[in-house]
Structure 1
Amino acid sequence: MASIVRDGEWIYGMQLPVQTLTRTLVDPWEDDASVADLVTVARHAEATGHSFVGVCDHVAVPDDDYAARMSTTWYDTVATLGFLAAHTTAVRLLSVVYVAAYRHPLQTAKAFGTLDHLSGGRAILGVGAGHVKGEFDALGIDYHQRGAILDEVLDAVRGAFDAPYVSFDGERFAYDRVGVGPAPVSGDLPVWVGGMGAASWRRAGRIGDGYIPMANPLTQYPEIIDTIRASAQEFGRDEAGFDIGYMPGWAYLTGPAPDDLPPTAIVGADALASDIRSAREAGANVMHVRVRGRTLPEYLDQLDAFAEEVVPLVDS
């Protein structure tokens, strides 16, 4: 496995703001934010100990309720991560999540192999099955087969760097003796699988190195971890050392909380640290942190507060 977290430790990271303007996620300052602001956040995340920053993936949002809720602004995943690689030095670069069924597996292998090579081994291929039917329709891909397509893509990508020339013979994709260098720095890409349900947990155990949560409740984690481990064992994999993600609620850590926080928001360092400690006890070792800030400086202050106040409480 190409897992990232060392045994007994935990890491944290974040999905970046600005790169998507989903109306349910966006803070007011993001609507007018610049590319320089995005770089500022990525660098600040790196400076405050975040192990990864994440960029989402949508190609073409249909003109329906999805566009109203999600907006049509979604930066290209690999282009954005490659750009940020040039503006950072150590933080890992996560696709969260890449709808791999939208692309031929050789394209995915080429893109993320190159990203990993250029960034000095910092890429994490986070994948999911996708959920917007109209987007699949626009791209000419069978929405109802998205899980099966993703499975085949992952099989192909996993084997793409096994030798200078590789072959693959699947139901949807087939090729004979092709090379897709540059290879990842370590020879393999860390793969984290995202999703809310059992199919994604089984997929993570079968072929992934980690699991990306979709705000799953902590009460679900015994089932999540048991399913991942059972799947790993079924396919002859070592389930030890797996990167298990947990996504705490939206957090506000400095001063009086804004009135517009969601009702499930976590207010204060003590409350967030307690939630993360509970997640650690449940078996999670990767925290996908979400903070709110009404301005860019306030957002950066939240990242500071997490590193300076929450992390020591979790580790104490």
Structure 2
Amino acid sequence: MPSYTQEGSSYERDMAYIPDRITKEPGRSQDQYDDGELDVRTWPAEPGRYRLVAARACPWANRSIIVRHLLGLEDVISLGLAGPVHDERSWTFDLDPGGRDPVLGYERLQEAYFARFPDYEKGITVPAVVDVASKAVVTNDFPQITHDLFFEWRDHHRPDAPDLWPDDCREEMEEVMQRVFTEVNNGVYRCGFAGSQEAYDEAYDRLWTALDWLEERLTDRRYLMGDRITEADIRLFTTLARFDAVYHGHFKCNRNKLTEMPALWGYARDLFQTPGFGDTIDFDQVKRHYYVVHEDINPTGIVPRGPERESWYSPHLREKLGPPR
């Protein structure tokens, strides 16, 4: 889960991630990291070299799990999954036998960060790509990770992999993704972590303005960019999948539920029922993460039982807008 900084009574995302890239043509350069010098590198896209460490609970990490599956990279980049509940130090591998990742041998993802940066002081976030041989983190730059899985690993995609970044709508797609990120993906957190009524009210209005815009956009088109699934849909889906289970109540995003917005609810179910989407969602882990970890918001630690997963399998009727291509 990416970390946040407080600006007055509003919360803003800390977007300073490890900037390394994994590319087809690796190189090397130097840059600054905090008060010290960070060795900024591009690493080679070599099958079997890296482990993607993610968590089903985290929407930002969930993106990378979906993209890896859709592109058919399961045998190219291995996947390690952290448990849903972590402390201030790190995500942990408590889902694995003995509480250790079977490939890296670590109990905590923090160990991979310290293997590269012994004095690393920022938050230990997922997703993270780890170099298996050195057991050191390569990058935790979540939007760049999924971007590079598509562009830099093309030689290893399955033959019928979807075009998640189509050239003919790239400019509009970038604009849509930016609005989705600032107003929806980040918007629910802005509501949940608001430090004053004024900050919350502003965040709430921004979020619902964006959700109303998306409801209208998706009324007459099957996906955000028309008749094909793109990276934009993946980025929106992971927030929608958590909306009624977490954000509606826990983050006070409660004007209405997702299930009360016909276009968005049908769209979310359409994606959920698409292989590679719903099968990455574990609602129990999602709820445990938010309701247990956020002690300041939910001091009792009680995890709600609903809503039921079965509703996500009801007919979405989005086929009338056209078959996907």
- Report the TM-score when normalising by structure 1: 0.29
- Report the TM-score when normalising by structure 2: 0.28
